[in-house]
Amino acid sequence: MKDLMYRGVRTHDPSLFKINGMKYYWETTTDAVIDVVRVLADHDKLSCLDNKDYMIKSVIDEASNINRIQLWGANNYNLAASYSYDTPELIFIMLKHFDIEPSHIRKYLDKKYGLPHVVTFIKPEYAYHGINEQLGDFIPPEDIISVDMVDTTLPDPLYGNAFNRISNEVIIK
C-alpha cells in the first residue's frame, strides 16, 4: 500500500479532483493578489490599502510569492480537516484581521470557494511526508484517492472552534 497524504480544501464540486487532479486556488501570483484585493473590495476596505496596514502588506506579499501558491499536504487527516475550515488562509487571515464576524467569514468562504473537504492522495515520491509539506503545483487525478466533505457542524478536529485558532496578531512569514 502506498503512503497517503491529505490536504484540506474548499470546493464547490469535489468530483472535479478525480477528473482534473488538484491545483491550488490560484494559478498565478497575479490571480492570488487580485483575489486578496477583491476581498477588500467585497468588505468595503479598499481604502485600507493606502494606510500602510502591516497585515494587508504581509498578505499581499505572501500572495505575490510563487512558493506560497503551491500545494501543501499533511500526513494527518485531522490536520487537513482542521485546515479546511480556514482555507484559503490568506483570505481567512484578511477577513479575521478586519474583525469580520466569524459566521460571516464562514459564509463568505463557503460561497466563494465552496465547502470544506479533505482530499486524500498518494504521497508523491519526492515528498518527505512531513506534517505540512510543500508539494508543487499539481497532484494528478490518478493519485487522488478520495474527497470527503468535512462536517462543519462538529468542532474543528484539532482546535475546537476554528475561529479562535488564528488571532489578529498573526504575522505571516
Percent share of the chain, pLDDT over 70? 89
CA 70 to chain centre: 11
Q: Whole-model pTM?
A: 0.85
Query: How high is the mean pLDDT of the chain?
Result: 85
Residue by residue, DSSP assigns 105-138 as HHHHHHHHH-EEEEEEEEPPTT----SSEEEES-
Helix (H, G, I), strand (E, B) or coil at 153: coil
- What are the residue boundaries of the structural domains of the chain, listed by start? 4-23+69-164
5/48: higher pLDDT: 5
* Higher-pLDDT residue of 173, 149: 149
Higher pLDDT, 30 or 70: 30
- Report whether pLDDT(27) > 60: yes
Residue 6 — pLDDT band, cuts 50, 70, 90? very high
Examine residue 88 and say whether the peptide bond preceding it is cis (omega within 30 degrees of 0). Answer: yes
Spatial strand order in the sheet of 115-122: 4-11, 115-122, 144-149
- Say what the pLDDT of residue 129 is: 63
The per-residue pLDDT for 131 is 65
Question: Does pLDDT of 170 surpass 70?
Answer: no
**Residues 106-115, mean pLDDT to the nearest whole number:** 94
pLDDT at 127 (0 to 100) = 75
- What pLDDT was estimated at residue 136? 78
| Residue 50: φ, ψ to 5° | -90, -10
pLDDT at 166 over 60: no
Per-residue pLDDT averaged across 74-103, rounded? 89
What confidence score (pLDDT) does residue 1 get?
Answer: 67
146 phi, psi to nearest 5 deg: -160, 160
Residue 38 has pLDDT above 80, yes or no: yes
